[in-house]
Amino acid sequence: MSADILAGIANVLGILAALVVVSAGLVFVERRLLGFWQERRGPNRVGPFGVLQVVADGVKLLFKEDWVPPFADRGVFILAPAIVLIATVLAFAVVPIAPGIGVVDLNVGILFVLAMASLAVYSVVLAGWASNSKYAFLGGLRAAAQMISYEVYMGLSLMGVVILAGSFDLRAIVAAQADMWFVVPQILGFFIFAVAGIAETHRLPFDLPEAETELVAGYHTEYSGMKFGMFFVGEYVGMVVVSGLIVTLFLGGWHGPLLPPVVWFVLKLAVCLAVFVLLRAALPRPRYDQLMSFGWKVLLPLSLLNLVVTGGVALALDG
């Protein structure tokens, strides 16, 4: 019994540590990959190949003055960066990595992830409001509208997967993909989820809440030191969560020939993350109204269509 508990604790702590380390390491990987794709070098001075750049950045952030502007709403200003980190880390808890590796199995796993994604909105909105400055405020407003809208298609695009697997449980969904990855029958849902996932994590090209050409730095304009660092790490954890969900829901989770399950999961995750970075390197940022009308006029009808067709086919095959 105590061995079970120890294994459970090791599981939880190991996944948490791996998640945070991978997310922090992503900063370096992203900059190197961007450098590669944009024909420049990227960070290559600190440590071998510049690997220790993250450590240097972290030390810098820790030693910066942790300043709360006098015009800010102090309590909410401090609370905001914590929310995004807590929500995204919690969302990763339901992602199954391999048989026996995973923090918790919920029978409403997908809904739990969506719930955490919808709570993460508060972080950005409250940061924008509490900063009490106009650029942060505009960033917060944009983020609220963008994230609420894209949550809708994110949820709807996953319902096709739920119909096929017959469960909200992420482990059951992975088990249902033993023969065929859901990306094949749910190709539309896959693309909608990927786009909505980028918008939910407000990564480039959908980083309008922090568009530096117009809004200085958007909702985190007034943040400095480790509070800014928490927004930053939260964004990268969000990337890992969305990639983990794509792997789990559409790319067959840990299933794959020859190699052990964990290796398959990590490989697929790495490819997804690299695609995230490639999108950032390749695509320009759309205008804000383009982003919103694309969502409501293209993605929403498409995700509804996907849901109707999947449901119809499932019913026809069933009876």
Partner 1 sequence: MTAAFLIAAAVAVLTTALALTRSNAVHALLYLVVSLLAVAVVFFLYGAPLAAALEIIVYAGAIIVLFVFVVIMLNLGPEATEQERRWLQPDIWVGPSLLAAVLLVELAVLLTDGSAAAAGVVGPAGTRAVEARAVGIRLFGPYLLAVELASFLLLAGLVGAWHLGRRPWQGSPAREEEGEAP
Contact between 128 and partner 1 (CB under 8 A)?
yes
Compare residues 115 and 274 and give the one whose CB is closer to partner 1. 115
Compare residues 102 and 140 and give the one whose CB is closer to partner 1. 140
Rounded CA-CA distance 177/155 in Å is 20
Q: Find the part of the chain contacting partner 1 (CB under 8 A) among 115-123, 194-202, 215-223, 226-234.
A: 115-123
Give the CA distances from residue 270 to residues 16, 47, 232, 247, in Å, rounded to whole numbers and listed in that order: 17, 22, 19, 10
Site for partner 1 in 176-235 (CB under 8 A): none
Compare residues 65 and 318 and give the one whose CB is closer to partner 1. 318
Residues 6+ apart with CB under 8 A from 282: 37
Q: How far is the CB of 73 from partner 1 (least distance, A)?
A: 8
Q: What are residue 98's phi and psi, to 5 degrees? A: -160, 170
Site string for partner 1, 135-174 (x = CB under 8 A): --x--xx--xx--x--x---x----------x-x------
Contact between 68 and partner 1 (CB under 8 A)?
no
Residues 267 and 117: beta-carbon distance below 8 Å: no
Residues 84 and 120: beta-carbon distance below 8 Å: yes
Q: How far is the CB of 180 from partner 1 (least distance, A)?
A: 23
Compare residues 53 and 221 and give the one whose CB is closer to partner 1. 221
Residues 166 and 182: beta-carbon distance below 8 Å: no
Q: Find the part of the chain contacting partner 1 (CB under 8 A) among 37-45, 104-112, 174-182, 260-268.
A: 104-112
Rounded CA-CA distance 236/229 in Å is 11
Q: How far is the CB of 199 from partner 1 (least distance, A)?
A: 15
Q: How far is the CB of 115 from partner 1 (least distance, A)?
A: 4
Compare residues 84 and 114 and give the one whose CB is closer to partner 1. 114
Q: Which of 17, 108, 298, 309 binds partner 1 (CB under 8 A)?
A: 108
Compare residues 44 and 132 and give the one whose CB is closer to partner 1. 132
Partners of 101 in the β-ladder: 98
Residues 161 and 192: beta-carbon distance below 8 Å: no
Compare residues 11 and 118 and give the one whose CB is closer to partner 1. 118
Give the closest residue to 247 by CA, choosing from 224, 228, 263, 225. 263
Contact between 118 and partner 1 (CB under 8 A)?
yes
Compare residues 165 and 273 and give the one whose CB is closer to partner 1. 165
- 284 preceded by cis ω (within 30°)? no
How many CA atoms within 13 Å lie on the side-chain side of 15? 24
3 state SS of 38 = coil
Contact between 106 and partner 1 (CB under 8 A)?
yes
| Residue 27 in tokens | 């900063």
Neighbours of 11 (CB within 10 A): 16
Q: Which residues bind partner 1 (CB under 8 A)?
A: 73, 75-76, 106-108, 111-112, 114-115, 117-119, 121-122, 125-126, 128-129, 137, 140-141, 144-145, 148, 151, 155, 166, 168
